[in-house]
Amino acid sequence: MNKEDVLQAKIVVWFKNEYQINSKGVIFSVPNGGSRNVVEAKKLKSTGLMAGVSDLIVVLESKVLFVELKTDIGIQSDTQKKFEILVTNLNHEYHIIRSLEQFKELIWQSIK
């Protein structure tokens, strides 16, 4: 697993243990990455796969958070920037997160 994958796994475990288990929120990923054969790629695209979608989507009682995970030096791709613009224009929150601690702070601030 790369560093972003490790961070994502830690975040998902923490959130599920702290919030999802108590029905205070839902977290899920959209598996956009990886290599696929041409037939599978066409099928996924025709059924709604969208380039640039955030790594995690967090559904809380009164809001939805789109969370893109990056290492300390990671930057957004052009498709990720376009997705950020799409969701923020719809009045949703989009966050770039680089650590478990930063994610925890986002959740604590979001449930106040």
Predicted local distance difference test score (pLDDT) of residue 33: 64
Q: How far is CA 16 from CA 63, 84, 103, in A?
A: 17, 24, 13
Q: Is residue 9 a contact partner of residue 1, using CB atoms and an 8 Å limit?
A: yes
How many domains are there within the chain? 1
Q: What is the pTM of this model?
A: 0.89
Where in the sequence is the domain holding 55, given as residue range(s)? 3-110
Q: What percent of the chain has pLDDT over 90?
A: 71
Kindly indicate the confidence band of residue 34, based on its pLDDT and cuts at 50, 70 and 90: low
Q: What are phi and psi of 80, to 5 degrees?
A: -65, -40
CATH assignment at residue 103: 3.40.1350.10
Kindly indicate the confidence band of residue 6, based on its pLDDT and cuts at 50, 70 and 90: very high
CA–CA gap between residue 82 and residue 89 (Å, rounded) = 11
pLDDT over 90 at 90, yes or no: yes
When the pLDDT of each residue in the chain is averaged and rounded to a whole number, the result is 91
pLDDT tens, 51-75?
A: 899 999 999 998 999 999 999 999 9
CA–CA gap between residue 62 and residue 76 (Å, rounded) = 27
